[in-house]
Amino acid sequence: MKTLTEEQRIKWATDGYIQLEGALNSDEVSFFSAKLDEVRQLPGFEPRPDELQRGHYKWLDHADDLDPEGFMDRRDLLTYDQAFIDLIDHPGVFDLIVDIMGPWILFSMSQAIVRAATNTFPGYTHTDGGEALRRIRVTETSRPLAMKAMYLLNDVNSEDSGNFTVFPGSHLRPFPEDNSQLNPHTPGAVQLTGKAGDAYLFSHALWHGPAPNHSNRARKTLLYNYCQMFVRWYDFDSISKVADQCTPRQRRLLGDLGYDFRPGSYFYAPLDQEEIIYGSPA
Ligand SMILES: O=C(O)CCC(=O)C(=O)O
């Protein structure tokens, strides 16, 4: 499997993220971009901030906005197309995730976010993993508890275009209890640019979030999240419904250990874990 270059390894350790150019090719970008336009017409999980607590999603008949340039935040993408399943261990990106996290991991979440061009969204900054994980930090040499791959489906060329915004090195500092002043324009924030097909890999502990989008077009992204096996997935309530469409490696990443649950499962990995994760993708 591919591993990080020395330069990427240093950047991951010191900045808490790396950018991979051309992680998806142009056919893949066009395919996923068109799929997101279809997905918003279909039932699925979307946020309901006025109805549900922060970060919780409700099953709806379709996205609120049916315009492909409108806002969408859809969770649990795997049922929409085989390609969303195959992105779990996309060559080139998954290799690096395993290099960073080790082989004892699960796939924990998929998400498509379209950040519409609007003057009403100021952006926000956070760490991942809710109340508990925001209080847990990693050191330069620690494997992360969780990390995400974020795929850009369109070019982001200038600031305030819905950019993925990071505070480099912030994965090594405590997240302030009062983070209300932190935003994509706070000193230290870096609004990343990139080309369609680029991917950002980032640690759960990195302060990050979207910038406002004052450009004249929506910013489309896919987010795939991975965690250490003893943590757990949080996109579905038991092993994903698509398990029978998956390769053995994808099934394992979705939590199918190859035997019925027993105490100890997910704590110590199955004996063939390394063979499955490092082995052939099919
Ligand atoms: O850039 C975005 O739209 C949000 C991405 C993000 O902050 C996250 O996945 O945690």
pLDDT, position 176: 78
Rounded to the nearest angstrom, the distance between the alpha carbon of 210 and the centre of ligand 1 is 6
Ligand 1 atom nearest to CA at 210: 1
pLDDT averaged per 10 residues in sequence order, the chain, 282 residues: 97 97 98 98 96 95 97 98 98 96 98 97 92 86 95 98 97 82 93 98 96 97 97 88 94 95 95 94 78
**Domains of the chain, first to last:** 6-278 (2.60.120.620)
d(CA 11, CA 24): 21
The structure tokens listed for 138 are 């990693």
pLDDT, position 61: 98
275: enclosing H helix or E strand: helix 273-278
Encode pLDDT of 114-168 as tens digits: 999 999 999 999 999 888 888 888 888 899 999 999 999 999 999 999 999 999 9
pLDDT, position 197: 98
pLDDT, position 35: 98
Cβ distance 212 to 121 under 8 Å?
yes
Which residue of 118, 121, 153, 164 sits with most ligand 1 atoms within 8 Å of its CB, as the best mutation to test the pocket?
A: 164
Rounded to the nearest angstrom, the distance between the alpha carbon of 164 and the centre of ligand 1 is 7
Indicate the pTM of the whole model: 0.97
d(CA 242, CA 261): 18
pLDDT, position 249: 97
Ligand 1 atom nearest to CA at 124: 7
31: enclosing H helix or E strand: helix 26-39
Residue of minimum CA distance from atom 3 in ligand 1? 210
